[in-house]
Structure 1
Amino acid sequence: MEQVKLIWDFRGPNAIKIAEHHAKHLKEFTTTESLENTTCDTEQINPMHCTAFLITPKDKMDFIRERLKPNRGQLYNSKS
């Protein structure tokens, strides 16, 4: 199953807290929309740049992208 990683970028001194809060809402969205096989989390690139991300099957990408407007996305390989 091909997966994509949808990414929201946050920058500034509060980036990690904002990314964590956004990831919480991403998890709520996946529950509300009954989306299966998804993963939501955060990643700190550096102290001033953090991301919230949602990994989902590629066939759900358009549905999520239209509603949540991620900054970017990439193909996701779970083995890496």
Structure 2
Amino acid sequence: MSRKIKLIWDFRGPAAAKIAEHHEIHLKEFITIEKLTPNITGFEIKNEMLALAYMVVTEENMLAVRDALKPHRGEVYLENEKS
């Protein structure tokens, strides 16, 4: 079974939460257009000045998605993690 990688985009500033929420919409569109699985996305508000958007990809697709979308960072996605 392939590992899953969580690709993360960080947003800072007073509009960070709205930007992260909107960025997730584009990540969902990309997943649909490219017919990727798994279909896991989300956004998290860390505080009033920091938020992030993320998508989960398989290890096989990670390089192609990374090169196309240029996330700020990535980490191994654990199935039981909430986000």
Deviation at 1:37, TM superposition (A): 1.1
Aligned residue number for residue 34 of structure 2: 33
Aligned residue number for residue 11 of structure 2: 10
Aligned residues: 80
Deviation at 1:38, TM superposition (A): 2.6
2: CA distance, partners of 1:55 / 1:25: 14
SS in 2 for 1:37: coil
CA contact (8 A) 1:40 1:54 kept: yes
CA contact (8 A) 1:38 1:57 kept: no
What amino acid does structure 2 have at the position aligned with 1:18? I
**Structure 1 unaligned spans of 5+:** none
After superposition, residues 1-80 of structure 1 pair within 5 angstroms as 1-80=2-81
**Percent of pairs with identical residues:** 45
Choose 33-42 or 15-24, whichever is displaced more. 33-42
SS in 2 for 1:70: coil
Length-normalised TM-score, structure 2: 0.91
